[in-house]
Every structure is written in structure tokens, then in C-alpha cells.
């Protein structure tokens, strides 16, 4: 997976996402990266606020976007000998979350990164996730 620093402008797969087709909610709203981590880069660590992991897991079903044909494996979870790719954490899509005047794009592995590796996303993203009304 490509690394992008948190809160930088989203450019990963913007040529395949039509915000106008997604409804008025997304029109004219800048999209920022969150959680595009890499095994060779540091990231913010901390304790997840109550409900964050559960909300992110739910959003991998309700807020999916940019489904790809391939998938990305967690860079910190080793595959066990004899295990197949399906046995480890992997992702093949993104989630989109509306914030205040911005939208956030995150890989669907973000829930795993928070729960399994102590990644602490930016506060504004956390607030947007925890206050989401389920609109994707």
C-alpha cells in the first residue's frame, strides 16, 4: 500500500471516484488521507477512545469506497508458516467519512491498525467517525 501522511490531500485513486455520483454530501469537499501507514514509517500511537474500533469496523461495511481487485496485507502482522493470504489482516477498499468541511479517506485496514497496533488517528477524524450518522 502506498504511504500518505495523515491529513494530506487524497490522491491515491481519485481518478476512479466521482464525488458527484455519491450525492450532494461530497460535492466540493476536500478529501484528506488518514491511516495510509507503512511498515517503514512511524505513526501516532495511543489508546483508542471508547467505541472507535467498533465504529471503524462497522464502517468497513457501511462506508466502503474504492474497492480494488488486489489487496494489501498488514505490514506488521507476519504470515504464519503454511498460512495463506486469507489468514492475515488484509484490505482491498477504503472507507470515507465526512468531517467538518472535509471528508476523510482511509484504508479499510485502519480498524486493524487502531486495534492491533495502537495507531491513533488524528483527533478530527476520530470525532467524525464517532459522530457519524451512518451516511456514506
pLDDT of the chain, 136 residues: tens digit per residue = 689 999 999 987 765 555 555 555 566 789 999 999 998 999 999 999 999 999 999 998 888 777 666 667 777 787 655 555 555 566 668 899 999 999 999 999 999 999 999 999 999 999 999 998 644 4
Residue 8 covered by a domain? no
pLDDT value at residue 113: 93
Residue 91 covered by a domain? yes
Residue 135 covered by a domain? no
Residue 2 covered by a domain? no
C-alpha cell of 29? 469537499
Report whether 33 contacts 10 (CB < 8 A): yes
Q: What is the pTM of this model?
A: 0.81
Count of structural domains, the chain: 1
Residue 38 covered by a domain? yes
pLDDT value at residue 75: 78
Residue 87 covered by a domain? yes
pLDDT value at residue 136: 44
Domain range for 54: 14-98+107-130
Amino acid at each position: 500500500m502506498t504511504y500518505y501522511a495523515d491529513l494530506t490531500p487524497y490522491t491515491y485513486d481519485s481518478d476512479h471516484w466521482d464525488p458527484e455520483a455519491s450525492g450532494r454530501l461530497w460535492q466540493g469537499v476536500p478529501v484528506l488521507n488518514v491511516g495510509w501507514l507503512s511498515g517503514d514509517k512511524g505513526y501516532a500511537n495511543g489508546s483508542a477512545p471508547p467505541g472507535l474500533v467498533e465504529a471503524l469496523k462497522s464502517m468497513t461495511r457501511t462506508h466502503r469506497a474504492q474497492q480494488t481487485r488486489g489487496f494489501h496485507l498488514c505490514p506488521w502482522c507476519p504470515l504464519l508458516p503454511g498460512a495463506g493470504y486469507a489468514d492475515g489482516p488484509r484490505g482491498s477498499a477504503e472507507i470515507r467519512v465526512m468531517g467538518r468541511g472535509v471528508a476523510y479517506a482511509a484504508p479499510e485496514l485502519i480498524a486493524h491498525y487502531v486495534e492491533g497496533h495502537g495507531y491513533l488517528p488524528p483527533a478530527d477524524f476520530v470525532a467524525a467517525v464517532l459522530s457519524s450518522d451512518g451516511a456514506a
